[in-house]
Every structure is written in C-alpha cells, then in structure tokens.
Structure 1
Amino acid sequence: MKVKNVLMLSLLAYTGYHAYANREIIKSSALSAKKSLLAAKTDWHNIQKSLERITQQTENLQAINQDLTYKGRVFNQELQAHLKQIAAVLDKYKS
C-alpha cells in the first residue's frame, strides 16, 4: 500500500470512530435541526396566509375608502345647502 492510501484509511477510521463516539450528540443535533426546519416551514406558511388576508383586506379598505369619500362629499354639499338656508333666515330676522 502506498502512504497516501494508508493516510486516507487512517483518517477515515479516525473520523468514523469520533462520529460513532459522538453519535448521540450528532443525533440530537440532527433532530433539533429537523424540528427547527419544520417550525420555519410552518411559520412561512402562516406568513403567506397572513399576506393573502392583508391583500384581501386592503382591497376591502379601498372600497370602503371610496364609499366614505363619496358620502363625505354628499354630506358636505347638503351641509352647505342647509347653512345657506340658515343664513337666509338669519338675514331675514336681522333686518
């Protein structure tokens, strides 16, 4: 065997031994990473659903805003008409 092959084999054996010795730590780390990934996916889906709801509500709010703007203009026009009538009555009593 060449020296290169012997070094590779001993390095692999050393790595395998340490992996086996720390198998519980590696297993718990892998489980923790898997749980974190599942939690992140769940959060991602919740965020997507929330964004869809926000988009829908934005459309509803725009419709409500247009309706309130129209009603505000109508109210203002009616108010001006009533104020003119009140001013005419007041002018009648002033003279």
Structure 2
Amino acid sequence: MKLGNLLLTGTAAAISYWLVSNKDKIAEEIQETSGLWDDISASYTKIQKQADIIKNYSQPLKEMTQDLNYKFRVYQQEVDSHLQEIQAIQEKYTNKK
C-alpha cells in the first residue's frame, strides 16, 4: 500500500471517529441551525410584507404632499394679498397725520 493511501485512510478514520464521538453535538447544531433558518425565512417574509405595505402608502402620501403644498401656496398668496391691503390701509392713515 502506498503512503498516500495510508494517510487518506487514517484521515478518514480520524474524521469518522470524531463524527461518531460528537454526533449528539452535531445533531444539536443541525437542529439549532434549521431553527434559525426557519426564523430567518419567516423574518424575511415579514419584511417583504411590510415593504409592500410601505410601497402601497407611498403613492397616497405623495398625493397628500402635493395637495398640501398646493394649499400652502394658495394660503401664502392669500396672506400676501391681505398683508398688502393692510399695509396700504396703514399707510393711508399714517400719511394723514
């Protein structure tokens, strides 16, 4: 038998012994990992649903923003015109004195 085959056989035997002696720990880790994987996939699904909800609200919010901006501009124009009237009346009475 060649030395390479002996090393390969010895390594395989050592790995097999290690696996058999630690099978409970390995099985526990596999269960834990599968539990974590399930939690991760559930969280991912939940995040996707929440992202969809946010996307659905973005368009109405955009429309509300545009509407409020329009109303603010109209209000600002109205306030400016009232202020001009007030200033004109004020100048009228301050100039008479």
Shift, 1:20, TM fit = 2.5
Deviations 1:38-64 (A, max 9, x none): 111011112112211222232222111
CA distance in 2, matches of 1:11, 1:76: 83
One-letter amino acid of the structure 2 residue matched with residue 64 of structure 1: M
C-alpha distance in structure 2 between counterparts of 1:16 and 1:31, whole Å: 21
Report the alpha carbon displacement of residue 11 of structure 1 after superposing the two structures with TM.
Answer: 6.1
Paired position in structure 2 for 1:48: 48
Which letter does structure 2 place at the counterpart of 1:72? F
Count of aligned residue pairs for this structure pair: 92
Residue number in structure 2 paired with 1:59:
59
Quote the Cα distance in structure 2 between the aligned partners of 1:85 and 1:18: 93
Distance 1:86 1:11 in 2: 97
Which structure 2 residue ranges, 5 or more long, are not aligned? none
Q: TM-score, normalised by structure 1?
A: 0.76
TM-score, normalising length: structure 2: 0.75
